[in-house]
């Protein structure tokens, strides 16, 4: 299994712990990796991980690191997209639901800055975006993380 897939699975496992019983604001109904448009989702709140692009820099002959510099926060971009649905079309409640899920995602993913993986140098919060579709009573949060990790060409 590639290091990239291990990283995705580690983030998915961290997200799986988001329940009110574990001290979070939200209890997730579903989570996975791969993009889903909210028109395809039946369970709320849900979270999906979407791997993005990365640049790689050679360290030695056969070793690389994600990102443009070993000491920078640039790395492999992963978007964590969360969806909430409100029983009302009230903007205030939707905003609260989105903010609670956003806080939970940041807390869950950044709790272990190496995801329990020895080759991960760190996880960095890059940006947060939110969207509300009032007509559908659906709120979306997108939390983007940058993952710094080292790998050999034979095991990316």
Containing structural domain, residue 31: 3-152
Determine the 3-state secondary structure of 4 from DSSP: helix
What is the rounded CA–CA span in Å between residue 112 and residue 149?
Answer: 14
Give pLDDT tens digits for 31-43: 998 888 778 888 9
Determine the 3-state secondary structure of 118 from DSSP: coil
CATH number at residue 59: 3.30.2000.10
Number of domains in the chain: 1
Cis status of the peptide bond prior to 84, with omega within 30 of 0: no
Contact between 65 and 121 under an 8 Å Cβ cutoff? The reply is yes
Give pLDDT tens digits for 59-109: 777 788 888 776 667 899 999 999 999 877 677 888 899 999 999 999 999
Contact between 120 and 7 under an 8 Å Cβ cutoff? The reply is yes
């Amino acid at each position: 299994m590639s290091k990239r897939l291990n990283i995705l699975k580690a983030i998915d496992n961290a997200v799986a712990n988001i329940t009110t019983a574990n001290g979070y604001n939200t209890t997730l109904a579903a989570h996975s990796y791969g993009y889903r448009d909210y028109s395809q989702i039946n369970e709320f709140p849900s979270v999906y991980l979407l791997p993005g692009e990365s640049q790689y820099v050679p360290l030695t002959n056969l070793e690389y690191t994600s990102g443009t510099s070993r000491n920078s926060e640039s790395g492999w971009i992963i978007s964590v997209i969360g969806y909430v649905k409100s029983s009302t079309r009230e903007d205030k409640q939707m905003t609260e639901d989105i903010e609670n899920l956003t806080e939970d995602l940041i807390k869950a993913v950044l709790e272990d800055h190496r995801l329990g993986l020895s080759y991960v140098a760190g996880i960095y919060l890059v940006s947060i975006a939110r969207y509300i579709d009032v007509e559908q009573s659906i709120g979306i949060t997108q939390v983007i993380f940058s993952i710094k990790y080292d790998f050999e060409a034979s095991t990316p």
